[in-house]
Amino acid sequence: MVTDDGFRALDRQACLHLLARVPVGRVVYTRQALPAVLPVNFCLDTDSSVLVRTSAGSDLVRAVDGAVVAFEADAFDATARSGWSVVVTGRALLVTDPAEHERLSHSGPTSWRPLGNGVFLRIEPAVITGRELAGVHGG
């Protein structure tokens, strides 16, 4: 039986539009065989991949380079009981090409923390899904 839970599925373009509006999301990955979630600031690249800048020696880089991860970002208004959530699933790769690293140094995300040896992680979007909840009443 299908019920209307109040959520509306979003297409890829709507998902990308919403992702571009928020500065923080969460990388969901596996750490020591357990699920882990790490909030990060990010931006979208021209190919719609998610870009994160972090320290070269970070636990995140060691855990996700080459692995399939999920990335989730959202925005909610508790008063209006509305919001959205977008999930990008794909392989996370360390950007190793010097020219690409240089380009991202100017156009990519900046870290909220000072980084002496910053690197870029790219999450290539294999699957993008999203849901939106328009204001609902009751409760």
Name the band, by pLDDT with cuts 50, 70 and 90, for residue 1. very low
For the chain, list the domains and their CATH numbers: 7-133 (2.30.110.10)
- 3-state DSSP: the chain helix, strand, coil percent, rounded to 5? 15, 45, 35
What residues pair up with 71 in beta bridges, in sequence order?
27, 88
Instruction: Quick: pLDDT tens for 17-71.
Output: 999 999 999 999 998 889 999 999 999 999 999 999 998 888 888 899 899 999 9
Most confident range (mean pLDDT) of 32-36, 91-95, 105-109 is 91-95
Confidence of residue 88 (pLDDT cuts 50, 70, 90): very high
To the nearest whole number, what is the mean pLDDT of the chain? 89
* Of 127 and 59, the one with more pLDDT: 127
Q: pTM value?
A: 0.88
pLDDT at 56: 86
Q: Spell out the alpha helix ranges (H) of 7-125.
A: 12-19, 59-64, 98-107
Which pLDDT belongs to residue 118? 85
State mean pLDDT over 107-135.
86
Residue 114, pLDDT above cutoff 90: no
Mean pLDDT of 88-98: 96
Closest CA to 121 of 86, 87, 90: 90
